[in-house]
Amino acid sequence: MTASRLQHTVMSSAVLAVASLVTWLSFTEEPAAAFLFPRMISVFFILFAVWNFIRAVTGLAQVGVGITPKMAMTILPGLAVALVYIYVAADTLGFYASSAMAFLAVSTLYDPAPRSDIQSWLKRITITLGFMAVMYALFAIVLKVQTPTGLFF
């Protein structure tokens, strides 16, 4: 097995494991009504994860050469923000406040505009507020999904 194929197989296995866990949790947690939306999403998530895993194992998913060490170092700061968001901020600060901070942090990390430029900060903050307005409208108003609450909201 080539290194690229091995990398595809390992990553697709990890995605399949996460999809399986999310699907299992969404169908076993109570109250059932609060998990309706996660159940719908998890069904598609597991179907695509199984399809991706089969493609990786059979060698059909040979796209590119995989992740280089330089690319992994580029991804690492965003991954760190995501891990802090998932394991600390969402429950501590609340879904909307922590999502806004995580979105602003990721956009600041990866925006090529200089951090000393006031205009770039105004743009990042405006985009973050717009993104959060869409998130609130989607989850709270349209889907009526229960989100984690914390210190703020």
pLDDT given at position 107: 95
* pLDDT for 151: 74
Count of helix runs (H) and strand runs (E) in the chain: 6, 0
What is the predicted pLDDT for the residue at 150?
Answer: 73
CA 35 to chain centre: 18
Give per-residue pLDDT as tens, 96-116: 999 999 999 999 999 999 999
The pLDDT of residue 137 is: 93
Tell me if the pTM is above 0.75: no
Cα separation, 45 vs 56, in Å, equals 16
> Contact 121/128 with Cβ under 8 angstroms?
no
Question: Do the Cβ atoms of 148 and 92 come closer than 8 Å?
Answer: no
pLDDT band at 121 (very low <50, low <70, confident <90, very high): very high
Confidence at 60, pLDDT banded by 50, 70, 90: confident
Q: Would you state the pLDDT for residue 153?
A: 61
For residues 148 and 95, is the Cβ–Cβ distance under 8 A? yes
User: Which tokens go with 117?
Assistant: 């430029």
